[in-house]
Structure 1
Amino acid sequence: MYVIKVKGVAKIPDYVQLRDEKFTLLAYFRVDRPDRSLEKVGLGDKTEYIMQKIKDLPFGQILKLDI
């Protein structure tokens, strides 16, 4: 699974994209509101781990997560 952190501009907030091995979009959510989106894709129990990785990730970079 891959994580991409996207910087928002003006009134658009920062977003996170979760993508699978084929780079298909699994989830797209605001950095400050991950709960429902992660639960929908079955990662509700990994929210804390994913958000810690996102917090340290610079905008525009791709990070591979082994989940």
Structure 2
Amino acid sequence: MYIIKVKGVAKIPDYVQLRDEEFTLLAYFRVDRPDKTLTKIGLGDRIDDIMNLINELPFGKIMKLEL
């Protein structure tokens, strides 16, 4: 799984994309509201770990997420 943090502009907020190995979009969510989306895709128990990675990840970079 890959994680990408995208910088918003003007009224569009920052958001995160989660993609699988073939780069198919699994989920996208606002950086400040991850709970519902991560729970929906089965990662609700890893919210704290994922949010720590997101906070450290620079905008526009792709990171392989090992769960």
TM over 0.5: yes
Instruction: Output aligned runs, 1:1-67, within 5 Å.
Output: 1-67=1-67
CA distance in 1, matches of 2:26, 2:41: 7
Give the C-alpha shift of residue 23 in structure 1: 0.7
Aligned length: 67
CA distance in 2, matches of 1:43, 1:56: 19
Percent identity for Structure 1 against Structure 2: 73
Deviations 1:10-56 (A, max 9, x none): 00000000001111111100000000000110000000000000000
Query: What amino acid is the match of 2:31?
Result: V
How large is the Cα RMSD of the aligned pairs?
0.4
Q: Which runs of 4+ in 1 moved over 4 A?
A: none
CA distance in 1, matches of 2:12, 2:29: 12
